């Protein structure tokens, strides 16, 4: 970008925008030599550009949030995303961009930061959230993800973490598809959900005796249910599928199986004050919860905070270590320096130097291990529930921290 702006010093009437060439193009102030310079820099980048150690592979959420990118409006991207009226005039441009991306775009880099001498980058699959629910679009999405993984492998990236719908179980088995198809990958493919489960579980007070779980047979729901039942917590698992419930039940130790209970209606949780929401619920369904209930959640988009007599947790997230450098933008609705737990899970995988792929089903036995590794490297939970003075289900070291805080 510095070289792009350097043309401004030889032609003072061109290339005004240091970080956003888009606006020079819109106002016809783009220097004619800019594209040749870009091609030269691109051709030389293979020899000179620093290779990322870690890549977080995201996707666009929706049309309005697509404007929340550093190369669109840097000041807007430097703040947590919210829908702002002033940005609505850009909606038609965003719509045209979406159609163009659908037709021609490839995975591209959005942002980067440095952590302890390691370069971390965020790449984006040029697809919007709704497109992941279009059956005819799924093969194309998987092709983009596969190309990103193979590109990272060729470049020498150590870990690539799949965000949100990029690791959807129905899409690619949580990344399993790519690992099986390319068994010789050097880059480690990670879904990061082990740390997501750990963050949610460590929000739950240690004296909890019963929870109500929706999305109970999903990847995260299964791991949460199996973890809690082993700690003698009764889990009301909302599912209509007896077959899927029985499959999870058989994974639990025999002496813990009685703590897993299948329920098919929300009325079953009318006396339960701890709800863990993994499937979007309506205000009417929220009304089944008793007054004073707390809604933990791992559902996207987050549920509406409808009940004034209840409390709501945030989506699982962690704050990056204090020595992180170069953070110029926010990750969606998160504060600067805060990332989704699946992103943090990939960071921990990289910092620990783990050599296994984290794909498919969550290994329940690794939840505490990953949680403690995150804390060891200086990552901190940021959910409102985790800031309360109640202890949670972590290892003994974490319990001592909570005991110290209560003094």
* Dist CA 89 CA 380 (whole Å): 38
Residue 83: pLDDT band by 50, 70, 90 thresholds?
Answer: confident
- Least-confidence region, from 5-19, 148-162, 184-198, 372-386: 5-19
Q: Tell me, yes or no, whether 306 lies in a domain.
A: yes
Query: Is residue 336 one of the residues assigned to a domain?
Result: no
DSSP letter assigned to residue 52: P
pLDDT of residue 73: 83
Chain segment 347-404, per-residue pLDDT in tens: 999 999 999 999 999 999 999 999 999 999 999 998 644 444 333 444 433 333 333 3
pLDDT of 147 over the 70 cut: yes
Q: Do residues 166 and 234 both lie within one domain?
A: no
Instruction: Taking residues 21-29, report their average pLDDT.
Output: 72
Domain-terminating residue out of 280, 312, 344: 312
pTM of the model: 0.83
**pLDDT, tens only, 266-306:** 999 999 999 999 998 999 999 999 999 999 999 877 888 99
The pairing of beta strand 108-115 with beta strand 118-128: antiparallel
CB 322 within 8 A of CB 113: no
* 40/101 same-domain check: no
User: Quick one: tokens of 90?
Assistant: 């850009």
The answer to the question of residue 242 being in a domain is yes
Domain annotation covers residue 350: no
Domain encompassing residue 60: 54-190
Crossing angle (nearest 10°) for helices 341-352 and 367-376: 80
Q: What are phi and psi of 263, to 5 degrees?
A: -130, 150
| Residue after which a domain boundary falls, among 256, 287, 312 | 312
User: 136-151: buried (b, 16+ CB within 10 Å) or exposed (e) per residue?
Assistant: eebeebbebbeebbeb
* CATH value at residue 250: 3.40.50.720
Structure-block tokens of residue 341: 């737990």
Does any domain span residue 12? yes
Residues 126 and 160 in one domain: yes
Residues 162-190 have a mean pLDDT of: 96
Longest dimension (CA), the chain: 77
Query: Is residue 37 domain-shared with residue 106, that is, in the same domain?
Result: no
Q: Classify residue 300: in a domain, yes or no.
A: yes
Q: Does 9 share its domain with 82?
A: no
Domain count, the chain: 3
Mean pLDDT score of the chain, rounded to an integer? Answer: 87
- Which domain CATH number covers 122? 3.40.220
Q: Does position 407 have pLDDT exceeding 50, yes or no?
A: no
Spatial distance between the Cα atoms of 77 and 166, rounded to a whole number of angstroms? 22
Domain assignment present for residue 323? The answer is no
Nearby residues of 18 by Cβ (< 8 Å), 6 or more positions away: 1, 2, 4, 5
Cis peptide before 301, with omega less than 30 degrees from 0? yes
Residue 273 inside a domain? The answer is: yes
pLDDT of residue 183: 96
């Amino acid at each position: 970008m510095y070289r792009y702006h350097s043309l401004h010093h030889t032609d003072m009437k061109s290339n005004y925008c240091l970080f956003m060439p888009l606006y020079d193009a819109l106002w016809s102030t783009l220097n004619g030599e800019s594209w040749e310079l870009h091609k030269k820099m691109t051709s030389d980048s293979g020899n000179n550009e620093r290779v990322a150690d870690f890549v977080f592979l995201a996707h666009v959420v929706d049309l309005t949030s697509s404007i929340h990118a550093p190369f669109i409006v840097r000041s807007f991207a430097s703040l947590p995303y919210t829908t702002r009226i002033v940005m609505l005039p850009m909606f038609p441009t965003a719509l045209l961009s979406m159609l163009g991306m659908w037709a021609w775009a490839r995975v591209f880099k959005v942002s980067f930061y440095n952590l302890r001498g390691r370069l971390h980058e965020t790449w984006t699959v040029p697809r919007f959230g709704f497109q992941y629910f279009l059956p005819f679009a799924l093969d194309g999405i998987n092709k983009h993800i596969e190309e990103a993984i193979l590109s990272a492998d060729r470049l020498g990236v150590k870990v690539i973490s799949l965000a949100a719908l990029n690791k959807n179980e129905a899409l690619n088995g949580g990344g399993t598809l790519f690992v099986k198809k390319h068994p010789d990958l050097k880059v480690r493919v990670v879904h990061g959900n082990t740390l997501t489960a750990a963050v949610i579980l460590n929000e739950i007070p240690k004296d909890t005796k019963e929870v109500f779980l929706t999305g109970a047979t999903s990847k995260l729901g299964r791991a949460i249910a199996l973890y809690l039942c082993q700690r003698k917590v009764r889990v009301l698992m909302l599912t209509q599928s007896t077959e899927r419930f029985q499959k999870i039940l058989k994974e639990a130790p025999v002496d813990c199986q009685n703590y897993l209970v299948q329920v098919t209606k929300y009325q079953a949780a009318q006396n339960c004050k701890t709800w863990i929401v993994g499937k979007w619920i309506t205000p009417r369904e929220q009304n089944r919860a008793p007054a004073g209930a707390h809604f933990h959640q791992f559902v996207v988009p987050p549920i509406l905070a409808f009940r004034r007599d209840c409390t709501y947790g945030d989506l699982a997230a962690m704050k990056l270590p204090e020595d992180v450098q170069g953070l110029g933008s926010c990750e969606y609705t998160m504060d600067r320096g805060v990332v989704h737990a699946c992103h943090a899970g990939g960071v921990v995988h990289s910092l620990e130097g783990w050599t296994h792929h984290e794909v498919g089903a969550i290994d329940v036995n690794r939840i505490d291990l990953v949680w403690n590794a995150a804390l060891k490297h200086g990552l901190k939970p940021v959910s409102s529930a985790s800031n309360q003075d109640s202890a949670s289900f972590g290892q003994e070291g974490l319990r001592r921290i909570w005991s110290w805080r209560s003094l």
